[in-house]
Every structure is written in structure tokens, then in C-alpha cells.
Amino acid sequence: ALRLPFSDALCAAVEATRPEVVSFHFGLPGPALFARVKATGAVILASATTVREAIWLAEQGVDAVIAQSIEAGGHASTFLDGSPETQMGLFALLPQIVDAVDVPVIAAGGIMDGRGIAAAFLLGASAGQMGTAFLHTSESRISPMHRKALTSPEAEQSQFTTLFSGRPARGIPNRLMRELGAMHASAPPFPHASAALAPLRAKAEAAGDPAFSSLWAGQAARLGRAMGAAELIDALMMEVAQLLPSIPAATPAATKD
């Protein structure tokens, strides 16, 4: 299915279900739709890859900014500042965003264990957001090919690529990325590249070949631990409490789709 912009129909679904939290990627919807989401009382989060994006989001009225660094797996949330070359590592990006905005900041990118969460807190974050760490868990619905790739040597060299969706997203290199070049100018624009690639991907996956599949993962994928999600959260909280005794052991880590 194509990824479509946040629409009146999606906004109506938010109004009907009234979730506690709504998180946006690639910026925010237009003012009218955004006002309707705000009116539901949901806590609104949005991702920023640069300080300028974070300031813009705070000015629009989000309740917290997600500082998404270059280490993060999947799609870069860039919406004002162009290409992945504008992105910074978490240690550089996070404290600059914390200093620039007056709302809580959530650290995202390369965090895989309690050490990463503790470092984020010391740099001013209010929470840590983790995605790739939870791909390793038993509840994760990724394919066996993707799960195997997370612990492969190639996982140490994850790259941004436009081949699978038309927008830069970080994943583990495979045949398609190696043969065409990860950032290929002829890739159809977002989100049409995924539909164009779908027949080839389906044929390869049916044969157990991940050569044309998007294997999203952050730069620290190989630090992942194979365990249940609840077990991982318990381990993370214990690790943070040991490193930062002032942080209550019950403080949860945020999770990312």
C-alpha cells in the first residue's frame, strides 16, 4: 500500500479513537488538520533531524520533539533540510536541540541498551526512543531473512538508500543497493518506488532471497538482544538504574514502530 499524507479521513479516525499520543514523521499536517488533532487532547510528538526542524516543530505547538539522529534505522524524518548529509550523530544533535527548544526532547538513533539511554539523559533528553532494539524481540513480525540480517556482518555497514521507497531510509545493504548504488537518482519519487519494486521483491522473497527487500536497521543493530519485549524493557530499566541511580528503576524507555 502507498504511504499517503495525513488526511481528513485519518484525522477523523484520530478524533473517533482519541489516542493518548499522536506522533508525526516528515513534518506536520496542515494547520487545520493539526488543530483538530490538538483539540483531541492527544500528546503530539514529531521527529526532527536538525535543530532548525526542531525549532519549527516547537513553534507549531508540538508537545515534544523527537531528535532523530543519523544513526537511526528506517526513514529519516527530514522535511526542511534536505538530504541525509544535513543530519548529525546523536551526541551532536541531541544537546543542540535540547538547548534550542522549550519542550521535552526524546532521543532517537543508535540506542540499543541502558548505556545509550543513560547517555541520552545526561545530554538532556527526557526519554529514549528505540526501534531496532525491538526488531530483535520474539514479538517482532519481521521476516526470518530480516532477523538473520540484523546479526550479520553487513549490519555493521547500514546505509541510507532511496531504492525502496523514494526517500532516504537506513537499512542493511543487499544486492539491489550494491548493484545500483544505495542513493540512485532514477528511483521513483516517494512513495512510488515501493510499488515499482514490489513484483521483483515478491518473487525473490518467495525463494527466500532478501536481495530486493528493505532490511531497515540502525547503525547499532548488532548490539540487539534476542528476548521478549517485556524482558528487554525490564533489562533496560535495570541497566539505566545502575548507571544513573537518580533515575527510578520504573522509568520506561519509549519505543518506536
Confidence at residue 124, expressed as pLDDT on a 0 to 100 scale: 97
What span, in angstroms and rounded, lies between the C-alpha atoms of 60 and 212? 39
Global pTM reads 0.92
86 — pLDDT class (breaks 50, 70, 90) = confident
- Average pLDDT over the chain, rounded to an integer: 93
Count the neighbouring beta carbons within 10 Å of the beta carbon of residue 138: 10
1 — pLDDT class (breaks 50, 70, 90) = low
What single-letter DSSP state applies at residue 251?
Answer: P
* Rounded to 5°, angle at Cα 111 from 48 and 145: 100
For residues 130, 131, 136, 140, the Cα torsion angle rounded to the nearest 10 degrees is: 130
257 — pLDDT class (breaks 50, 70, 90) = very low
pLDDT tens digits for range 216-255: 999 999 999 999 999 999 999 999 999 998 866 544 444 4
